[in-house]
């Protein structure tokens, strides 16, 4: 079990290094949040996560409504 956790930890450490591998990270800039909103490397995944979350919430809401209608 410990070796499995150690392996996962090492994999995560290497993934974190490659995730920072685009221009704009690690520099002091006045852009701040603007970098995350305008950079495709951040904006596209954030948009996809938002769409997936909205679809999940919609599906759950429809299931709740359907279940409450079935109980009547």
48, two tokens: 């996809």
**pLDDT tens figures, 2-20:** 788 888 878 777 765 555 5
Count Cβ atoms below 10 Å from residue 11 Cβ, excluding itself: 10
State the pLDDT confidence band at 62, using cuts at 50, 70 and 90.
very high
- pTM recorded for the entire structure: 0.55
Q: In the chain, what are the domain boundaries? A: 35-72
Query: Which of the pair, 13 or 61, is modelled with greater confidence?
Result: 61
Measure CA 14 to chain center. Answer: 18
- Which residues make Cβ contacts (< 8 Å) with residue 39, sequence separation at least 6? 22, 24
pLDDT one-digit tens code per residue, 18-57: 555 566 566 656 567 777 778 787 888 889 999 999 999 9
């Amino acid at each position: 079990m410990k070796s499995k956790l150690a392996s996962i930890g090492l994999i995560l450490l290497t993934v974190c290094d490659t995730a920072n591998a685009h221009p704009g990270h690690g520099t002091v800039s006045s852009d701040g949040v603007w970098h995350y909103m305008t950079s495709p490397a951040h904006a596209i995944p954030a948009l996809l996560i938002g769409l997936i979350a909205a679809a999940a919430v919609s599906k759950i809401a429809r299931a709740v409504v359907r279940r409450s209608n079935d109980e009547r």
